Every structure is written in structure tokens, then in C-alpha cells.
């Protein structure tokens, strides 16, 4: 029932096929009824949770726009990796109100709000600016082949599986052979699912609270406005990022927050972080160059960090977007694991 609501489709045939796997019995009837009750309860809990008007891509007064040179502006479809997806030019920002919807495990959307962004005239910002300009450009001479592959492997844009989808896919891969009971798996995926949603709320709260410009806009058009004395903070109008810049503010990275929250939660459920495994990209349609590519990791921490830094290699995030997103993601996952759905003794 909750899945029907989330996916906005009646899983008539899927439900019938699933139920057909179990012989008719009183237990089956009671199970179906219990499932309905739980579904109704979840739906009741989430009705009017603020998500419905938040799907409209207008600010609706939820967050104030900043007025200085760091203010986010719409980004264009300028990127270098080919072939790649097509998408609208200069689109309206995506879900400005998402950070205000009711969280699942956090006390509020701003519970794990991060510290402020750099002063754009500071040496730290100049360093960030120069790093992204060199490393994240379409034709970077400093980015390695492996780093380019990482940028595309974790791109997971809204036209494909998305970061939460990719990490749920990884969670299924890791937990399916762990010998967990049905209830333990349900418990695990409830926690992972809730924290992925809360990661989105946390990241969107940060994004629209701080309203920080993307590297694409900063490098192509905004550089002089920063009044940074470092000569490296210079305009480069023809600069292209390697992967597409998403149409919402930079700080913090949603990818980093999703990845850290998922990796931390899977490690807590699994009982360890040092898990060696391999994975292929679930999206080989709009990034066909990923066909046959397999990446290997030795720990969940490595997975989260590779996913996070992919946005730097791709030229769509500042480094601090990644580091702060990783920190927030881990914090909210630990909080959820300790405070939500405690296991019965």
C-alpha cells in the first residue's frame, strides 16, 4: 500500500504474483491484513508532511535568497562528457522547499545543518576555485582516466537511478547474502530508506539555507564579483564542467550526504565497515561508456568517499560541499540507528 503511494501506481499484477507464492492460510490472511494496517498507518503519518507543495519548483517564501556574490543562479547544460544525457537549459531550481518537509528520523530538517560557506574573497575559496577549475573541467589535464570514470560512474542524475537508488541497490547487494531474517531485512531497509529521505532533507535544507553558486556559474560568469585578490580567481567564460551541473545550489553535496548516510547505516547494520565488494553502474543507458565497467572497493567508507569526490572530479561541486555533506550524512545515519526503530531485546 505504501509502495503504491510512493510509486503512484497500483501494483495489481506484482501484488497478485507475490501473494501467489504463499498457500492460502489463516497466517497469510492475517499477514495481508497486518500489511494493510501498517501501510495505512505510514500513509496517515506522511499525509500533509509538506512534500506536496514542495514539489513545485518555486521558493514560496520558505528560504530567503542571499543577495551577495555567492547567490546561486540557474545553470546551463554545459558539460563535456559525451555521450551524455540531454536536459532542459537553465531550468528552475529543483524542489526549493524539500528541506522543510517533515523528516523521518531527525527532529527537524535543520538538525544537522552544517557550518557556513567560505568568504569568497578568502584564500581558502581561491584554492577551491582553482582546484575545481583545473580538476573538474571537461578537458582537464590533471584528472586521471580513473577519476574521469569515477565522475561518470557515480553521476546518477535525475534521469537515471539517482543516488538513493544506487545506494539501495548496493545495500541489496551486500545484505541479501548476510543470512538476515525477513524481519531483520525489513528493519534494515526501513532504516536505510528513512535515512536516505532524511539525507535529501538535510542536503536541501543546507542548499537553500546557504544558496551557494555552482562552480560552473562562478567560473564562467561570476569570478570578478568575488573580489578575491588571488589572480587564480579569474573568469573563464568557455569553461565546461565534465559532467552536468544539477539545477540547484551547491552547498552541501546531495551525493555526498546520500552516500555517507547509506554507507554508515549499512556498516552499522552489517557490523563492520571493511567489506570488499565490486559493483557495476545501474545506469548504462544515458552513460553508455559505463558498459562493462566494474569498480572494486575495500570498505564502505571508500565507497562513500569515492561517490562524494566524484562530484569534484566532475566539476559540479566545491570540495567543502563534499566534506560537509559526508559529515552530515554520517551524523544523521548514526542518529537514526541509535534512536529509530530500536530492536526489541
All three cell numbers of 281, joined, read 553502474
Q: Min. distance of Cβ 98 from another protein in angstroms?
A: 14
Binding of residue 38 to another protein (CB under 8 A): no
Under rule CB under 8 A, which residues in 225-254 are in contact with another protein?
237-238
Q: Which is nearer to another protein, 283 or 305 (CB)?
A: 283
Task: State the burial class of residue 262 (Cβ atoms within 10 Å of its Cβ: 0-12, 13-18, 19+).
Answer: buried
Question: What does 56-80 look like in DSSP terms, one character per residue?
Answer: SSS-TTSSPPP-STTB-----S-B-
Of residues 37, 47, 176, 294, which one binds another protein by CB under 8 A?
47
> 210 phi and psi, to 5 degrees?
-95, -30
Query: What is the DSSP-derived secondary structure letter of residue 99?
Result: G
Under rule CB under 8 A, which residues in 104-163 are in contact with another protein?
none
Applying CB under 8 A, the span of 74-82, 113-121, 129-137, 176-184 interacting with another protein comes to 74-82
In whole angstroms, give the CA distance from residue 185 to residue 168. Answer: 12
In whole angstroms, give the CA distance from residue 56 to residue 54. Answer: 5
Applying CB under 8 A, the span of 69-77, 190-198, 259-267, 299-307 interacting with another protein comes to 69-77
Binding of residue 327 to another protein (CB under 8 A): no
Q: Min. distance of Cβ 159 from another protein in angstroms?
A: 9
Q: Which is nearer to another protein, 45 or 172 (CB)?
A: 45
In whole angstroms, give the CA distance from residue 56 to residue 45. Answer: 21
Binding of residue 76 to another protein (CB under 8 A): yes
> Closest Cα to residue 316, out of 148, 81, 127, 79?
79
Of residues 23, 61, 179, 271, which one binds another protein by CB under 8 A?
61
Applying CB under 8 A, the span of 84-92, 173-181, 200-208, 318-326 interacting with another protein comes to 84-92
Binding of residue 169 to another protein (CB under 8 A): no
> Closest Cα to residue 308, out of 253, 228, 230, 242?
253
CB 277 within 8 A of CB 173: yes
> 165 phi and psi, to 5 degrees?
-65, -45
CA atoms within 13 A on the CB side of 158: 12
DSSP alpha helices (H): ranges in 158-210?
162-175, 182-210
Q: Min. distance of Cβ 225 from another protein in angstroms?
A: 9
Binding of residue 68 to another protein (CB under 8 A): no
Under rule CB under 8 A, which residues in 259-288 are in contact with another protein?
284-286, 288
Binding of residue 22 to another protein (CB under 8 A): no
Under rule CB under 8 A, which residues in 284-323 are in contact with another protein?
284-286, 288, 291
In whole angstroms, give the CA distance from residue 52 to residue 49. Answer: 8
Binding of residue 90 to another protein (CB under 8 A): yes
Q: Which is nearer to another protein, 41 or 298 (CB)?
A: 41
Applying CB under 8 A, the span of 48-56, 138-146, 252-260, 305-313 interacting with another protein comes to 48-56
CA atoms within 13 A on the CB side of 144: 3
Binding of residue 221 to another protein (CB under 8 A): yes
Which residues in this chain contact another protein in the complex, by CB under 8 A?
Answer: 4-5, 7-10, 12-14, 43, 47-48, 52-53, 56, 58-61, 71, 73-74, 76-78, 82-87, 89-92, 220-221, 237-238, 284-286, 288, 291
Amino acid at each position: 500500500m505504501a509502495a503504491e503511494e510512493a510509486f503512484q501506481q497500483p501494483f495489481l499484477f506484482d501484488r497478485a504474483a507475490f501473494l501467489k507464492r504463499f498457500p492460502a492460510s489463516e497466517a497469510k490472511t492475517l499477514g495481508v491484513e497486518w500489511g494493510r494496517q501498517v501501510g495505512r498507518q505510514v500513509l496517515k503519518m506522511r499525509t500533509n508532511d509538506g512534500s506536496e507543495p514542495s514539489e513545485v519548483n518555486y521558493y514560496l517564501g520558505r528560504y530567503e535568497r542571499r543577495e551577495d556574490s555567492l547567490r546561486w543562479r540557474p545553470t546551463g547544460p554545459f558539460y563535456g562528457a559525451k555521450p551524455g544525457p540531454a536536459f532542459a537549459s537553465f531550468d528552475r531550481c529543483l524542489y526549493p522547499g524539500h528541506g522543510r518537509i517533515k523528516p523521518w528520523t531527525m527532529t527537524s530538517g535543520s538538525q544537522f545543518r552544517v557550518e557556513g560557506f567560505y568568504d569568497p574573497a578568502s584564500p581558502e575559496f581561491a584554492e577551491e576555485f582553482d582546484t575545481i577549475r583545473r580538476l573538474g573541467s571537461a578537458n582537464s589535464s590533471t584528472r586521471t582516466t580513473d577519476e574521469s570514470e569515477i565522475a561518470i560512474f557515480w553521476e546518477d542524475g535525475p534521469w537515471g537511478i539517482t543516488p538513493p537508488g544506487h545506494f539501495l541497490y548496493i545495500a541489496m547487494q551486500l545484505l541479501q547474502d548476510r543470512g538476515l531474517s525477513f524481519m531483520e531485512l525489513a528493519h534494515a531497509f526501513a532504516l536505510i530508506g528513512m535515512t536516505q529521505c532524511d539525507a535529501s532533507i538535510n542536503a536541501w535544507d543546507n542548499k537553500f539555507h546557504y544558496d551557494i553558486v555552482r562552480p560552473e556559474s562562478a567560473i564562467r560568469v561570476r569570478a570578478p564579483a568575488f573580489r578575491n585578490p588571488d589572480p587564480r580567481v579569474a573568469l573563464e567564460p568557455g569553461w565546461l564542467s565534465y559532467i552536468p551541473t544539477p539545477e540547484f545550489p551547491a552547498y552541501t553535496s546531495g551525493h555526498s550526504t546520500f552516500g555517507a548516510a547509506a554507507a554508515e547505516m549499512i556498516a552499522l547494520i552489517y557490523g563492520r565497515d571493511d567489506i570488499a565488494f565490486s559493483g557495476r553502474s545501474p545506469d548504462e543507458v544515458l552513460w553508455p561508456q559505463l558498459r562493462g565497467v566494474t569498480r572494486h572497493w575495500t570498505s564502505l567508507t571508500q565507497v562513500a568517499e569515492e561517490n562524494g569526490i566524484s562530484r569534484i572530479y566532475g566539476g559540479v561541486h566545491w570540495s567543502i560541499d563534499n566534506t560537509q555533506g559526508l559529515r552530515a550524512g554520517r551524523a544523521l545515519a548514526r542518529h537514526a540507528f541509535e534512536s529509530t526503530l530500536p530492536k526489541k531485546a
